[in-house]
């Protein structure tokens, strides 16, 4: 999470804002929610041996962390990754969220005030950054599949204890995706969501 926070420069938020046609405040709020949601979903997926193994293999194959060397270049398409899978945001979201992807997009939209298309586009742009940060951490710390499970579980637990919105996000991921939880999350408002990253804009 610290590595992710370090990537969220004002320049990156402004660049993302201009690409999706939203205000920097809305984009920063949505970014916090997306980071938290995808980290929680990754932790949930890695909680099973099969899920942890699949994630470990995906990181080894496609996400070495090099995307973090030029995040703005990757997001704008000016820099080229080692493999196309490294920046395939839609494919990454499909693997991480599965049939909860539409509900997650709706949740981020309601949290931040972005419309669904803006929220979906932002999720697709940020997913490769999250996988890159996870891949770099895995490589730097020499983690295997079990280490990834522990890392993600601890990160999700820490976020949940620090921010009430995270417990609702986790409830959404564990539920059948019904709309009532999404409404609960939306009701928490943007001010709490900002706490995911210490209110950093």
Confidence of residue 169 (pLDDT cuts 50, 70, 90): confident
Would you state the structure tokens that stand for residue 113, as one six-digit string?
């005030």
* pTM for this prediction: 0.84
What does the pLDDT read at residue 195?
47
Cα separation, 65 vs 20, in Å, equals 24
Residues 156, 81 contacting (CB under 8 angstroms): no
How confident is the model over 128-142, as pLDDT tens digits?
999 999 999 999 999
pLDDT tens digits, one per residue of 113-127: 899 999 999 999 999
Closest CA to 38 of 81, 85, 100, 88: 100
* 178 Cβ neighbours under 8 A, 6+ residues apart: none
Question: Within a 13 Å sphere around the CA of 87, how many CA atoms are in the beta-carbon half?
Answer: 19
Window from 98-107, 111-120, 186-195 with minimum mean pLDDT: 186-195
* Greatest alpha-carbon span in the chain: 41
Average pLDDT for 48-53? 94
Report residue 137 as tokens: 């951490």
The answer to whether 63 and 131 have CB atoms below 8 angstroms apart is: yes
- Residue closest to 108 by CA, chosen among 51, 18, 38: 38
């Amino acid at each position: 999470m610290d590595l992710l926070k370090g990537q969220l420069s004002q320049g990156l938020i402004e660049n993302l804002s201009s690409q999706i046609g939203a205000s920097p405040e809305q984009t920063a709020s949505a970014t916090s929610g997306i980071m938290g949601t995808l980290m929680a979903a990754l932790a949930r997926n890695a909680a099973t041996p099969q899920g942890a193994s699949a994630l470990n293999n995906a990181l080894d194959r496609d996400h070495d962390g090099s995307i973090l060397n030029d995040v703005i270049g990757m997001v704008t398409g000016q820099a080229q990754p080692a493999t196309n899978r490294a920046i395939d945001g839609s494919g990454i979201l499909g693997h991480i969220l599965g049939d909860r992807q539409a509900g997650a997009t709706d949740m981020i939209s309601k949290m931040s005030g972005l419309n669904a298309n803006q929220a979906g586009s932002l999720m697709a742009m940020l997913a490769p950054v999250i996988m890159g940060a996870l891949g770099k951490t895995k490589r730097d710390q020499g983690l295997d599949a079990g280490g990834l499970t522990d890392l993600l579980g601890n990160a999700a637990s820490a976020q949940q204890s620090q921010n009430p919105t995270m417990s609702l996000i986790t409830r959404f991921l564990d539920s059948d995706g019904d709309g009532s939880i999404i409404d609960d999350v939306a009701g928490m408002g943007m001010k709490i969501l900002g706490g995911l990253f210490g209110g950093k804009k």
